[in-house]
Amino acid sequence: MFILIGGWGSRERKIKAAFYLFIYTLLGSIFLLFSILVIYLETGTTSFLTLSFNTISFDKQIVLWVFSYIAFSVKTPTFPFHIWLPEAHVEAPTAGSVILAGLLLKLGGYGFLKFLLPVLSEGTFFYLPLIYTLSGLSILYASLTTLRQLDLKRIIAYSSIAHMNLGVLGIFSCNIPGIQGSIFLMIAHGIVSSAMFFMVGVLYDKYHTRLLDYFGGLVQVMPIFSIYFLIFCLANVGLPGTCNFIGELLIFFGILDINFFITFIALIGTIISVLYTIFFYNRLVFGNAKVKYINVWQEITKRENAIVLPLALLTFVFGIFPNFILDTTVSSVMFLVNCI
């Protein structure tokens, strides 16, 4: 990712964004490496399965959990370790943004599920109020910040922070609906967010700008693009029948049993996501085409359509038939909950 952003980034700030990613990841990795070394010296193994049944002393868990959480929350990202993500997304080429949204952000959730919950379970329960507070702040902060953005990539980047932190709440609900919902939401977000970044990349390749001020009335000149973008925008806000809806619904079921207040905060974030999505889709697609800035319009090509169509189909397939994923993950989630 460092090479992709620094070498093929789209603007002058690409070097700064690449080093943001590198430094945040490096510092988080140092904390994680320290935790792994201490656990190995304590238990004599680094096997997840063995560590799930070994008990590390509570005092050590308190310290190791903080170090490990910093490493994984950089990748999620959670406030206050989120600064690198909007910069990286805005400066990255389209392929880099797709990899960031589809794969890299999920590493934090994987770390929480694979490492923090089963290995440092006592530390996890000790820090649950802190996790809920930081995740709730991240959802509200990212959602409100998205409302005032004019760069299309930055809008989707801050939206990704809000969605991923909703997934973190599901993971740390420590029950089957919440954890399954978070896994489902991470997969759904990988599909929908990657598709939205690709669509923005299509616009940028054709018109060399991502600012909302220069666009308008795309439905008149790019109707196929507008339909695809509408599908992914509706999925992004969790419309029933789309994949995000299943993940968010399960997460809300999971965290409602744990903490009503944090559920309320998460719901506010979801409502705000509807507002900013409607706002920027309306400005982009409807109204009059701004021919003062762009007077030659191009519909998406067959090649671009071949990339977007499978993602649009998966959005509906997983939204209507969620058991493809839920049946696959239920046994692993039950084992994880038993370990906790």
Q: State pLDDT tens for residues 232-291.
A: 999 998 899 999 999 999 999 999 888 888 889 889 988 998 888 888 889 888 878 777
| Tokens describing residue 28 | 């988080």
Mean pLDDT value of segment 146-175: 88
Q: What is the rounded CA–CA span in Å between residue 182 and residue 4?
A: 28
pLDDT at residue 125 is higher than 90: no
Query: Tokens 């944090």 map to which residue?
Result: 262
Mean pLDDT value of segment 17-25: 88
Kindly report the three-state secondary structure assignment for every residue of the chain. CHHHHHHHCCCCCHHHHHHHHHHHHHHHHHHHHHHHHHHHHHHCCCCHHHHHHCCCCHHHHHHHHHHHHHHHHHHCCCCCCCCHHHHHHHHCCHHHHHHHHHHHCHHHHHHHHHHHHHHCHHHHHHCHHHHHHHHHHHHHHHHHHHHCCCEHHHHHHHHHHHHHHHHHHHHCCCCHHHHHHHHHHHHHHHHHHHHHHHHHHHHHHHHCCCEHHHCCCHHHHCHHHHHHHHHHHHHHCCCCCCHHHHHHHHHHHHHHCCCHHHHHHHHHHHHHHHHHHHHHHHHHHCCCCCCCCCCCCCCCCHHHHHHHHHHHHHHHHHHHCCHHHHHHHHHHHHHHHHHC
Share of the chain above pLDDT 70, in %: 100
| Tokens describing residue 23 | 């430094």
Q: Are 134 and 141 in contact (CB under 8 A)?
A: no
pLDDT at residue 116, rounded to an integer: 87
pLDDT at residue 33, rounded to an integer: 93
50 confidence band (pLDDT: 50, 70, 90): confident
pLDDT at residue 82, rounded to an integer: 83
- Position with higher pLDDT, 313 vs 216: 313
Q: Cis (ω within 30 of 0) for the bond into 80?
A: yes
182 confidence band (pLDDT: 50, 70, 90): very high
HSE-up of residue 209 (Cα within 13 Å, Cβ side): 11
Q: What is the pLDDT of residues 4-16, one digit of tens each?
A: 888 887 767 888 8
- What domain count does the chain have? 1
pLDDT at residue 309 is higher than 90: yes
pLDDT at residue 308 is higher than 90: yes
Helical pair 223-236 and 260-285, crossing angle rounded to 10 deg: 170
In which domain, by residue range, is 266 found?
A: 2-339
pTM as predicted: 0.90
Q: Are 196 and 225 in contact (CB under 8 A)?
A: no
Q: What is the rounded CA–CA span in Å between residue 316 and residue 229?
A: 14
320 confidence band (pLDDT: 50, 70, 90): very high
pLDDT at residue 101 is higher than 80: yes
| Tokens describing residue 104 | 């890299």
Q: How much is the mean pLDDT over the chain?
A: 87
